[in-house]
Amino acid sequence: MFFFVKIQKHIRLQPEELGKNLITKIRDKIDSTMVGTCSAVHGYIIHIVTFKDKDVNIQDGRIQDTTGEVIFRVSFTALVFKPFVDEVLDGVVVEVTNNGIIIRSGPLESFISAARVAESESGEFFHDSSTNQFVSRRDPNLRIRTDSEIRYKVFQIKYDQGKYDSIASISGDYLGPIQSQGV
């Protein structure tokens, strides 16, 4: 799920970075060091909200006497993505194996085991090893393969080493392959 969160962080600037356009340099440093990171508390930081004076609070810097760096305490608002159990997401299949499928939804990778794919209400799928895809027993034209779009439900989440991993299922109403509507 996406949220706006207020984050406080200490930003370090080297002595050569000080001078004209200090605020811009601090904002650039926040952007380059924070966007794309993930924490257990906030989730994935997707974007730093457009900087305006009211969106960012930069306190006076303190000089580190041993290095000469200046440390600023900064508060800013960020758009974050944090997955939750029972959340329904759309994603793209990035890998198909006989053990299951791996789906990517933005920065989140989710695994759906072959057993959970097989019990899907949208088609009782089986793995066709000759074409490396899951094929529906009810409708042979309904397939899950690399680059297929899938709607799935997260039922377990784990945060480890700066990223979230999830285990998911396509069992349930309106879950499974997303078929594009002909126009």
Q: How many CB atoms lie within 10 A of CB 155?
A: 16
Looking at the structure, tell me whether residues 10 and 57 fall in a common domain: yes
The pLDDT value recorded for residue 181 is 44
Looking at the structure, tell me whether residues 96 and 121 fall in a common domain: yes
Question: Cα torsion for 16, 17, 22, 25, to the nearest 10°?
Answer: 170
Looking at the structure, tell me whether residues 7 and 41 fall in a common domain: yes
Tell me, yes or no, whether 54 lies in a domain: yes
Looking at the structure, tell me whether residues 104 and 162 fall in a common domain: yes
Print pLDDT tens along the chain (183 aa).
899 998 888 888 888 888 888 888 888 888 898 999 999 999 999 998 865 555 566 778 888 888 888 998 888 889 999 999 999 999 999 999 989 999 999 999 999 998 888 776 666 888 888 888 888 888 888 888 999 999 999 999 999 988 999 999 998 888 888 875 444
Q: What is the pTM of this model?
A: 0.79
The residue to which tokens 């810097």 are assigned: 61
Amino acid at 161: Q
Looking at the structure, tell me whether residues 68 and 132 fall in a common domain: no
Amino acid at 165: D
Q: How many CB atoms lie within 10 A of CB 5?
A: 15
The pLDDT value recorded for residue 42 is 92
Tell me, yes or no, whether 182 lies in a domain: no
**Domain harbouring 140, CATH code:** 2.40.50.140
Tell me, yes or no, whether 183 lies in a domain: no
Nearest Cα residue to 82 out of 156, 169, 3: 3
The residue to which tokens 């793209």 are assigned: 92
By CB atoms closer than 10 A (0-12, 13-18, 19+), residue 21 is: exposed
Looking at the structure, tell me whether residues 97 and 136 fall in a common domain: yes
Looking at the structure, tell me whether residues 92 and 77 fall in a common domain: no
Last residue in a domain, options 81, 103, 136: 81
DSSP lists the bridge partners of residue 109 as: 104, 165
Q: Which helix (H) or strand (E) holds 81?
A: strand 70-81
Q: In whole angstroms, what is the distance from residue 24 CA to residue 56 CA?
A: 11
What residues make up the domain containing 23? 2-81
Looking at the structure, tell me whether residues 25 and 104 fall in a common domain: no
**Domain harbouring 63, CATH code:** 3.30.1490.120
Last residue in a domain, options 64, 81, 98: 81
Report how many domains make up the chain.
2
Q: In whole angstroms, what is the distance from residue 138 CA to residue 133 CA?
A: 15
Last residue in a domain, options 38, 60, 81: 81
The pLDDT value recorded for residue 30 is 87
The pLDDT value recorded for residue 129 is 87
Looking at the structure, tell me whether residues 30 and 7 fall in a common domain: yes
Q: In whole angstroms, what is the distance from residue 83 CA to residue 165 CA?
A: 9
Instruction: Give the chain's end-to-end CA distance (angstroms, integer).
Output: 30
